[in-house]
């Protein structure tokens, strides 16, 4: 696993096995406001994206690679949390 962190955006990205080649992500699953899972064309997880990492920490308890992720984030000095903020299901209001 490889952790990349952008301080400017407070975003962490974890490549699960190896660097993801261009076009290597076939689908992104939005788990909640702060977490996305990236899949390849064979439905394998290739990466995780975490938003607001320094601000709130990372939620890992429901992820497939949680133990490896927890170790990786702990070694990098990030805290873990046990809550998330759901994505809004409301449709955006559009002005006519």
Query: What's the pLDDT tens digit per position in 17-65?
Result: 989 999 999 999 999 999 999 999 999 999 999 999 999 999 999 999 9
Q: Are 46 and 69 in contact (CB under 8 A)?
A: no
Into how many domains does the chain fold? Answer: 1
Whether 1 shows a pLDDT value over 70: the answer reads yes
Q: Per the domain annotation, does 89 fall within a domain?
A: no
Res. 76: pLDDT tops 70: yes
51 lies in some domain: yes
**Among 26, 17, 28, 75, CA closest to 51:** 28
Structure tokens at 72: 């990786």
- Is the pLDDT at 2 greater than 70? The verdict is yes
Name the residue range of residue 27's domain.
Answer: 2-81
pLDDT at residue 96 in the model? 40
Q: Where are the alpha helices (DSSP H) in the chain?
A: 53-56, 66-76
- Give the DSSP H/E element, type plus range, for residue 51: strand 45-51
């Amino acid at each position: 696993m490889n952790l990349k962190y952008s301080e400017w955006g407070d975003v962490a990205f974890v490549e699960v096995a190896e660097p993801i080649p261009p076009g290597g992500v076939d689908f992104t699953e939005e788990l909640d406001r702060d977490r996305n899972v990236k899949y390849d064309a064979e439905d394998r997880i290739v990466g995780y994206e975490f938003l607001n990492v320094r601000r709130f920490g990372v939620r890992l308890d429901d992820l497939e690679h949680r133990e490896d992720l927890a170790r990786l984030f702990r070694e990098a000095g990030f805290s873990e949390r046990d809550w998330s903020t759901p994505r809004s299901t409301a449709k955006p209001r559009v002005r006519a």
